[in-house]
Every structure is written in C-alpha cells, then in structure tokens.
Amino acid sequence: MTKKSLQTQIIHTDYTAPGGFAAFPPAIHHASTVLFESVAAMRSGEWKEKNAYTYGLHGTPTTFTLEARLAEIEDARHCLLAPSGLAAIAMVDFALLKTGDDVLLPDNVYNPNRELGRWLSNDFGITARYYDPLVGAGIADLIQPNTKLVWTEAPGSVSMEVPDLPAICAAAHARGVLVALDNTWSAGLALRGFDLGVDIIMQALTKYQSGGSDVLMGAVMTRDRAVHDKLAMAHMRLGLGVSADDAYLVMRGLPSMKLRFEAHDAGARRVAAWLKARPEITSVLHPAFEDCPGHATWQRDFSGAGGLFSVIFDERYTEEQTDRFVDSLALFGLGYSWGGANSLVMPYRMAAIRRNWEGKGTLVRFNIGLESTDDLIADIEQALGQLQK
Ligand SMILES: *Cc1c(COP(=O)(O)O)cnc(C)c1O
C-alpha cells in the first residue's frame, strides 16, 4: 500500500498499545461498529450465543461482564440488560405476550408497569388484569386458557404487601403459565426468587446496584434457555442497548452493594420502629413489621429488607397537613427512585393508583439513605411538629 495521506492516517493509526495491562475495574468498551477479523469470522459469529461480538447493540465485553455478574448474584443462567427498569419490564411483556393473550398483574404493581398493561389492553389486543397481591394459591381461579404471564412484585414498592411466591408459582406452573418477579426491592440479595419457583427475574439496576442516584438501567434474568431465547429476540428487536459508561457505573457499585443494602436495612428498621411508636402514625408498612400485609411470608422467604418502607398517617391529618410534613423535612429529598445514599420521601394518593384501596390516612414512603439515623429521626421529629400548624 502506498503511504497513507494524513487524513487517512488520522483515522487508521499504526499504533497499538502494549498488551498485558491488568487492573481491577473492567474495561469500558464503546462500540456501535464491532470489527470482524475476516468475512469468515463475520459469518460464523452468533450474537445469541454470546460467543462473538457482532454489533454494539448486541453486547460488548463491558455489558457481557455486567450481565454475568448480575446472573451470579441472582443465581441465574442468563441475563440481559435494558436501558431502564421499565424497559426491562417491557422486554418481558413483548417477548412473551401476543395479541389474544392475557397477563395478570398485582394490584400493587410498580405504577409504570400498570400503565404498560393499560397500553397492551387498549392497543395490542392483550388483556391485562389485576389481582390482590395477597391472593397466593387463589391465583389459580384467575388463570384463563389464554393467560401467559403472571407478574409479581415482592413486596409492592409503595404499599409493601408481600406475596406468597411459592403458592403463586405452583398455581401458575400447574397451568403452564410463566411467573415474572420484579425483584428490585431486595436487589436480588434478600430474596432467592428462582429457588421459590419464579421463571423470570427483573431488576431496576437504577436502585441499589448503581447506588449513585445517577444511572438508569434494568436487567432481566432467567435460568431457562428457551425463555431466555425469547427474551433475547425481544431485546434485539426492540434495540434495548445500554451505554458502556452506564454499565461501568453499575459495575462500580456492585462490590459495595451488599454492605450498603445492610446499612440501609439497619437504618430503615430503626427509623420505622421509631415511627411505629408515634401517635401520628397508624401503621408502618415495612415487611419486617407486623402491620405489613404479608409479614409472615416475608419472614419465611426473605433474609433482609433494605431501605424502603411506607407509613400511614392517622386519618385525622388532612393531605394539606401531611404535605406540610413532607415539605418540612430537611434531610429527605422529595423525589422518585431510591437505593442511593440520600434519604428520600414521597406521598402517594393511593386511591388514584389502586383499584380497591380501603386504607384511610395519607401514605408516605421513605427511602432511608446512608445518613446517621439519629439525624434522620431528629429531622422527622421536627417535621411531625409542623403537622399541627
Ligand atoms: C424503579 C423501579 C422500576 C423501574 O426502574 P427504572 O430504571 O426507573 O425504569 C421498576 N420496578 C420497581 C419496583 C422500581 O422501584
């Protein structure tokens, strides 16, 4: 080849960095185009087998590494990443449902999942029906011949009911129906979903896995190759790629995740116990507390709880008063998501997001961050003082 022009030289450099570099962090591989060594290599690579790199969307060493590490934590065989937890939920629905099918969702389901169900019902000819999260084996009565999927969430991340997963899975499997679990609340650390019978586990990595309140990502895992293949086709067809930088940020959070989770858990139980003793609060919806529907199931199936729980204010307080409580908190940010170092708070209008919400009094959800619990309790105490003003 004749000498390259400067313009070409700028693009086709002759320099290659020496090999043999080693460090703990995984490398960040950016790629849309992935280069094949030869036409033969291009033709033989099979993205679904993950035995070759074919295109940035189908994975790089960075995303494959994160998928493998998440699968280890959940004791899964296969893992796929998505650009958000909600995109991971959508991947499951589009992989497993088609026109004429039916999907069952718990009535306390993560609200955007409910909204997706509404869309499937309105525009895709799929029925989405809602069940009492405490239904247990009674789910059998709701399963129709066209039911293909049962979503579960353990616990529901606002009202915290803990479902009986083994009972739901047994009833669903008896009718050949798959069960998907949103396992975000316990980060895959405190609930062994596959061992309880679940077929598919979804996680919002946005929460504890990242831990930084700065990344959006989701994952879908399974032990079943045939189910994984369907998920992988949906992942490919929908173009659910994640950025290498974001995958790196999630991986950066993983080594400290369990220790952070335990610290959130200890802090949340302490704050929840303090709230339980307060006259302003009628119930503490934390699965480790007796007030929480499904508490006994949590004791049987879970090994921890993390930082997220809700309380219900006595019905004598108006929404205006509980809003003032929320606005008066100084250390709790008012915002969605959770799992980061900063404590958060969010009031919910339950009647608007649930079919048969009978609870009276405002529900307020707390995410206990990594601050000192003494400081958090002092902050809540001063904000409770603002209720009466
Ligand atoms: C946050 C969350 C999701 C969605 O995750 P995003 O990354 O925000 O889309 C799904 N399920 C639960 C239970 C969540 O808390």
For 308-317, the pLDDT digits (tens) are 999 999 999 9
| Dist. CA 116 → ligand 1 center (Å) | 13
Q: What is the mean pLDDT of residues 109-118?
A: 95
CATH for 39-251, options being 3.40.640.10, 3.40.50.20, 3.20.20.70, 3.30.2320.20: 3.40.640.10
Predicted local distance difference test score (pLDDT) of residue 351: 83
| Dist. CA 34 → ligand 1 center (Å) | 31
Share of the chain above pLDDT 90, in %: 92
| Dist. CA 46 → ligand 1 center (Å) | 31
pLDDT at 359 over 90: no
pLDDT at 125 over 90: yes
pLDDT at 4 over 80: yes
| Ligand 1 atom with the shortest distance to the CA of 204 | 5
Q: Which two tokens stand for residue 235?
A: 């992942």
For 139-170, the pLDDT digits (tens) are 999 999 999 999 999 999 899 999 999 999 99
The residues spanned by each domain of the chain are 39-251, 256-384
Q: What is the dihedral of CA 114, 215, 370, 271, to 10 degrees?
A: -10
| Ligand 1 atom with the shortest distance to the CA of 184 | 13
| Ligand 1 atom with the shortest distance to the CA of 84 | 7
Q: What is the pTM of this model?
A: 0.96
* CA separation, residue 333 to residues 44, 364, 368 (Å): 52, 13, 11
Q: Which of 108, 160, 182, 240 to mutate to test the pocket of ligand 1 (most atoms within 8 A of CB)?
A: 182
Q: Which of 91, 113, 152, 157 to mutate to test the pocket of ligand 1 (most atoms within 8 A of CB)?
A: 157
pLDDT at 7 over 90: yes
CATH for 256-384, options being 3.40.50.720, 2.30.38.10, 3.90.1150.10, 3.90.1300.10: 3.90.1150.10
Predicted local distance difference test score (pLDDT) of residue 388: 83
| Dist. CA 385 → ligand 1 center (Å) | 33
Predicted local distance difference test score (pLDDT) of residue 1: 67
Predicted local distance difference test score (pLDDT) of residue 360: 85
pLDDT at 46 over 90: no
